Structure 1
Amino acid sequence: MWGERVLLVLWKKWFSSPGRPAVSPIAGDKPESVVERIQQGDDRLRDELIRSYHPFILKTTSRFCRRYVDPARDDAYSIALAAFDEAINRFLSDAGRSFLGFAETVIQRRLIDYARQEKKHSEVVPYSAFDTESADGDSAGNRLEVAQAMDAYARERTAEDRKAEIAALSEELSGYGITFGDLVDHSPRHRDSRIALLKVGRRLGEDERLCGMLRQKKQLPIKELCEGGDITRKTAERHRKYLVAVGLIAYGTYPFLREYIGLDHDGEEATS
């Protein structure tokens, strides 16, 4: 886990003021061109690029966490910093998307991984919980009681997190005139259709250009989504509301819903 020491090292490396030039060597340059120069070996620009996009990294992290993020204290911010650095190394200029769009996707993926890992740790019952004995020595009964309490807490926390995600998605969908009742009526019935539509919806959410068209115009870019040949225009129009919902889940910060609808494992919904 990223701790305070790692965060402070990153903070000092990327945001300390001593020695910083009065004029940024990347001022006026597009981030794509700066990243290309870094990848070609001009690594002195890396720290400057990260410093320059500190507000972007902070905004992306805060939006994911849905709260104010303190760069000097939050582990989530150190994860985002490392993800931005990872994006610099992995970005492909000929892939047809902007660097910032790619970096945002990488940051969100790493924060989702971090959130899942934190949740996993929080649900583990510590061994020390099983070492406590009651006054009459009934340690077995006490261990069972502790385990049951921890299990109930984990289920309650998961249910609350899911409820919060559903409420947030419901509010976002309302901007498109879509309700959860609509999704029931417009969801694909067959497994093959569901897998194909999930694939297209995921591409919609992860493609900055296509998702930008959806979010700005509040309209599904059907023509562009059908160009890959995964679905026909008729299918896309029939399941328009479903595709919008999947695209928003893939784009946004909905780890539970993402897992539930099967975005990360070939369209098989979770059963829990």
Structure 2
Amino acid sequence: MIASAQEGDCAVHDYLLKSYQPFIAKCTSEVCKRYIDPMRDDEFSIGLAAFNDAIMSYSSEKGSSFLSFAKLVIKRKVIDYIRYVQKIPIAASLDEDYEDEQMENPLEIAAIKEIYQEKQKAWYIRDEMIDFKEQLQTYDLSLVQLAKASPKHKDARRTAITVAKILFREPVLKDYVERKKKLPIKDLKQKVHVSKKTLERNRKFILATFIILTGDFTYLKEYLKVPS
């Protein structure tokens, strides 16, 4: 899709700019240390423009994924903007401690903080899901397939996660999965007490868990209860 946008496909270009707004907001928020409202904050506009620059200048030959490259471009542009206008210090956020006497209504402040945190979390989760779906596609998987293939029993789920952790921790196996985009069934059987049939049946879930373990998926790890 990036190549199509670079070649002048306006529909694809617009789709990328709209679909990745949660990602842009997250990157911008990480710099500003506060929730970024796409409709109100100037920093988001800077992040959006930076994302557009990333689309047009990205090359797979640089050795990094597009999202990693875009994240770097966005953060640099937003930092430059903040320094230029000399606005709110980067370290400022709603997480700062305030003395009770400085608050007109401590309960109201607490409620605002909670709303802020929930909104920020929602942006982060949406961003992670975009990245996760993209990673799944490289393994010829989808969220629909994953939902159908996920183990129904706790023991089976726990075993599948254990297998994924072994793949993640063993350099040779990890390299195999990342290159081949499939499970090294023969090698795995020598390291886990799981039948070939079970490994094949839970293949999609194991690969999806492996993707989460190898990526920056804080909230997905929490949701799927995948240990770091």
TM-score (norm. length: structure 1):
0.48
The structural deviation recorded for 1:208 is: 2.2
Structure 2 CA distance for partners of 1:65 and 1:194, relative to 1, 3 Å: farther
The structural deviation recorded for 1:260 is: 2.1
2:189 aligned partner, one-letter code = C
Q: What's 1:126 paired with?
A: 97
- The counterpart of 1:171, out of the listed 119, 122, 134, is 134
Equivalent-residue separation in structure 2 for 1:123 and 1:210 (angstroms): 43
2:102 aligned partner, one-letter code = T
Q: What's 1:11 paired with?
A: none
SS of corresponding position for 1:127: coil
TM-score (norm. length: structure 2):
0.57
Pairs within 5 Å for 1:132-143: 132=102, 139=104, 142-143=105-106
Q: What's 2:120 paired with?
A: 157
The structural deviation recorded for 1:263 is: 2.1
Q: What's 1:145 paired with?
A: 108
Equivalent-residue separation in structure 1 for 2:221 and 2:146 (angstroms): 15
Structure 2 CA distance for partners of 1:213 and 1:205, relative to 1, 3 Å: same
Matched, 1:255 2:218: yes
SS of corresponding position for 2:219: helix
SS of corresponding position for 1:177: coil
Q: What's 1:13 paired with?
A: none
- The counterpart of 2:199, out of the listed 236, 241, 255, is 236
Q: What's 2:82 paired with?
A: none
Equivalent-residue separation in structure 2 for 1:65 and 1:226 (angstroms): 39
Matched, 1:209 2:179: no
Tell me the alpha carbon deviations over residues 81-105 of structure 1, each in whole angstroms, 9 at most, x when there is no partner: xxxxxxxxxxxxxxxxxxxxxxxxx
Structure 2 CA distance for partners of 1:123 and 1:204, relative to 1, 3 Å: farther
Tell me the alpha carbon deviations over residues 207-238 of structure 1, each in whole angstroms, 9 at most, x when there is no partner: 22112111211222122222223321111101
1:233 aligned partner, one-letter code = K
Equivalent-residue separation in structure 2 for 1:238 and 1:221 (angstroms): 14
Q: Gapped runs of 5+ residues in structure 2?
A: 1-63, 80-92
Q: What's 1:98 paired with?
A: none
Equivalent-residue separation in structure 1 for 2:94 and 2:202 (angstroms): 37
- The counterpart of 1:67, out of the listed 64, 68, 72, is 72
Structure 2 CA distance for partners of 1:258 and 1:123, relative to 1, 3 Å: farther
SS of corresponding position for 1:67: helix
SS of corresponding position for 2:227: coil
Structure 2 CA distance for partners of 1:151 and 1:65, relative to 1, 3 Å: farther
The structural deviation recorded for 1:63 is: 4.9
Structure 2 CA distance for partners of 1:227 and 1:250, relative to 1, 3 Å: same
Matched, 1:220 2:225: no
RCO (CA 8 Å, sep 6+): is it higher in 1 or 2?
Answer: 2
Structure 2 CA distance for partners of 1:155 and 1:65, relative to 1, 3 Å: farther
Equivalent-residue separation in structure 2 for 1:223 and 1:152 (angstroms): 50
The structural deviation recorded for 1:127 is: 3.0
Residue identity (%): 28
Tell me the alpha carbon deviations over residues 58-86 of structure 1, each in whole angstroms, 9 at most, x when there is no partner: x8xx959942588xx9xxxxxxxxxxxxx
